[in-house]
Structures are given as structure tokens and as C-alpha cells.
Amino acid sequence: MENKRKKTYVEDLDRGIYDRKDEVKYRSKIKGLNEEVIRMISEEKNEPEWMLDIRLKALKIFNETPNPVWGPDLSEVDIDDIITYIRPDADLSDTWESVPDYIRDTFDALGIQEAEKELFLSGVGAQYDSEVVYHNLQQSLIDQGVIYTDFETGLKEYEDIVKKHYAKAISPSLHKYAALHYALSSGGSFIYVPKGVRVDIPLQSYYRLNAPGAGQFEHTLIVVEDDAYCHFIEGCSAPRWNQTNVHAGGVELYVGKNSTLRFSSIENWSRNMYNLNTKRAIVEENGSIQWVGGSFGSKVSMLYPTSVLIGEGAKAEMVTISFGSRGQVIDNGASTIHAASNTSSNIITKSISKGGGEANFRGMVKVLEEAKNCKSTVSCESLMLDNESRSDTIPYIEVKNKSCDLGHEAKIGRIDDQVIYYLMTRGFSEEEAKSIVVRGFAEPIAKELPMEYAVEMNNLINLELEGTIG
């Protein structure tokens, strides 16, 4: 009998290149989650004992922790039915010519190679299923001491730096799916920017999950030392399957004194994906973390990037957009912890929902007792394209110091019929008019992205809108 929990209905939406499916070729494949699985993965990677210890402790936490009851329904996520590790039939390479044709062609169609050739990117990493297959960095940055490599290589060659930071920003005990991440972590990127170095041309890692019924659990670790700058872009996609896929990545960011890290992310998972990602930044004195993001696809998304401001004068900024359509629950947001005086945060989120989909904002701002003269503003705007859709704003604010200045604003509304009528009198069809309004709503987010990624975001919005509103 076919396992009903593993099958999931996926609305038929033509996503073009993002639904490209390659034949699943692999060297090793592991299903489910138990101690034997954890030891097999660790042995496959030839990891140090301390990494295995973290995995086993995380497994215990995962097994003992229930699903959250405050968000979307996660009862369909059965890890015993998920392929939790799949090593592709490819070796890590620093030349595209050495990557198997079918994998190289997929990343080429996604535009990764072109962006690298045109020097829009100073370094590129490409992960396929559970392992990174390509990584490269411009020589000029290597000469300045910048490290950008896959996580496994980072662990082997820079173990002291990795051990100092790994699982410190995000604890396996943070929540059930943070524990799942550390138990099954595979692939990802390691970035180290030395003191005083600027990485102005972005680095990008792209995560592609091709196999049906599989999970992806990559770990991104970025350390930006004092007086430095780095812009990192994360791209994600997967083809559509009628089986449940799971993504539970982890992103740990460390921003030194007087430094800035810009973390841009376009997540474009298919509608059979449970996106249960965890991202957290630790920011020191006068440092700045800038989050820019777009969240598309996914049957369910629970993503709440967190900024922990531990140094005086530290700043956090977030600008994101999400799109929830029929059969989707996009429950995203942000949180900021002000743990030092004179820190500031600014969160701007936009969400769009249509066809009965949900696009919610869930946020938290916490000011600790010792944090004086802090400032925080949160602005949430939600646009519903019909009477079926839903959008909720769920803020949580905890202030333990009266000297702080905090504000929260939420706007939720339907698309304005008068605006649509006006555009139609100027010769646009109703569908074109609605598309113009939606793109205008999203423009503040697009302006924060590099041009080629703003184009990708607008294309994703067009895919969601095409032939489905009205």
C-alpha cells in the first residue's frame, strides 16, 4: 500500500526552468532518522568526534520535542519517510567543466554561470541535493585572505574557526527543526572575511534539491571580522513533485565591530516543500546586519530571521516580501533581540496572498533590561487579491527598559477596485491592471536587490499571477 503521508497534492503551476527535473543519480542514499543514520552520515563525511556529538545530541532533542502548536500544521512532515541524505554522483570541483553535464546544465539554465561570467558575482557555490558540487572564488579576494568554500572543506581546513562558531548562534535546542538541522546537516558554505576587507561584489551559494521525497539540510556559516564588509546572496529552488520534501537549513552569521553583512535571499521552493529554515545573526559594536529576502513557493514556510544585537550601537535592518497562493501557508517574519544600549532595528515586510492562500507575518522585538536608548520600528503591509485569501500580523513586543522608542504598524487590505478601474480605462486588461498594482507593491523590495535578482523576483511574482487572478 502506498504511504499516504508521503503524497501531497501540488497545484499545477508552470514554473518554467524551476521545475526542470533531472534523473536522480547518486552514490549513496539514506532514508529516515535514527542514531544509525546519524553515524552513517558522519562516517561518510569523515567528521571529527565533536561534530558527531552535536549530531547525536540534536537527534535526542528532536525526538523529545513536539511540533510547535502556534503555527502552520506540520503533521504531514514524517522524517522516517524522507530521504535525509543523498550524495550526488559528482565530486566537488572549482571548474564547471568537471561538473556532470546534467547538473551543470541545470545551474546554467538557472543563470548561475552567466552571472559568474559577467562578474556580477565574486564567488559562487552550487549545492545539488546533499552536497556541494562546485565552488570558486576570485583570486583577488583569496589574496586578501577571504575564505569562501563548501562547509565540509571549511571544517577540514579551518576547524578552529568553525568549532568556535558552529552551533553557537543557533542552538540545537532552539526549536524542533533547528535540532533536525544539526542532526542531519550536510553541505552549505563557509565564509570568512578578515579584518578591514571589503567584499563588494556579492558571493552567492545556490541550493538545488532535485530528488523527490528528500530533505536538504545545508549549513551556512559566515564570519565577518571587524571593519569589514560582505554581501552574500542565497538562492534556493526545487522542482515540483507529488511527494513531501523538507528543507531545514541553518544560517549562522557573525558580524564584527564596525562591520556590515548584507544577506540577500530568494527562496523559490516548489509547492510540495516544507521550508523550515533557521537564520540568526550575532552583531557586535556598531556592526550592521541587513536582511533582504523574497519567499515564494513552498507548501508551508516558517522562516523568522533573528538579529541579536550584542554590541552598543549595533543595527539590524530587514526588508522582505512573501507570496502565498492556493494551498500555501507562508508564515514568515523576523525577530530582533536588543541586548546592548543604543541599538536599533528596522523591519519592513510585505506579503501578498491570493486564491485562498495565507501569507502571515510573525515577529518579535525584545529589549533586555540593560539595553538603554534602543529604537525599533516594525512595518507590515499585506495585500489580498481576493475575498478567499488570508493575512495575519502577529507581533510580540517585550520591553524591559523604559528608555526605548518602539513602534509597530500593520496595514492589511484588498486590492483597490477603483485603482483597477482607472487602469482599465487607460487600456489595460483587468489582469494586467492587477499585475501593475502588485509589482508596484513589491517595488521597495526589488530596489534592495541587485538588478539580476530583482528581475528574478519580478519573474516569480509574474509566475504566481499569470492566469490566476480575477
pLDDT digits (tens, 9 = 90+) for 115-164: 888 878 999 999 999 999 999 999 999 999 999 999 999 999 999 999 99
Residue 6 has a pLDDT of 47
Q: Which residue has the higher pLDDT, 22 or 32?
A: 32
State the Cα–Cα distance between residues 18 and 49, nearest whole angstrom.
38
**Residue 431: is its pLDDT beyond 50?**
yes
- The predicted model gives 389-412 an average pLDDT of 90
Q: Which of 98, 80, 91, 106 has its CA nearest to residue 3?
A: 80
For cell 546572496, what's the residue?
Answer: 233
In angstroms and rounded to an integer, the radius of gyration of the C-alpha atoms of the chain is 21
**Residue 4: is its pLDDT beyond 50?**
no
- The predicted model gives 453-468 an average pLDDT of 71
pTM score, two decimals? 0.92
State the Cα–Cα distance between residues 236 and 207, nearest whole angstrom.
5
Pick the range with the lowest mean pLDDT from 75-89, 136-150, 269-283, 397-411. 397-411
- The predicted model gives 197-209 an average pLDDT of 95
pLDDT digits (tens, 9 = 90+) for 5-17: 444 545 545 566 7
Pick the range with the lowest mean pLDDT from 147-151, 366-370, 393-397. 393-397
Q: Which of 284, 322, 288 has its CA nearest to residue 302?
A: 322
253 close to 282: Cβ distance less than 8 angstroms: yes
Determine which helix (DSSP H) or strand (DSSP E) holds 394, and give its type and residue range: strand 393-399
- The predicted model gives 438-442 an average pLDDT of 81
Q: Rounded to the nearest 5 degrees, what angle is found at the Cα of 171, between the Cα atoms of 165 and 175?
A: 155
**Residue 467: is its pLDDT beyond 80?**
no
* Mean pLDDT (the chain, rounded): 90
349 close to 334: Cβ distance less than 8 angstroms: yes
**Residue 189: is its pLDDT beyond 80?**
yes
Cell digits of residue 327: 494551498
Q: Rounded to the nearest 5 degrees, what angle is found at the Cα of 373, between the Cα atoms of 369 and 374?
A: 80
Of the spans 79-88, 261-270, 445-454, which averages the highest pLDDT?
79-88
- The predicted model gives 315-325 an average pLDDT of 92
Q: What percent of the chain has pLDDT over 70?
A: 95
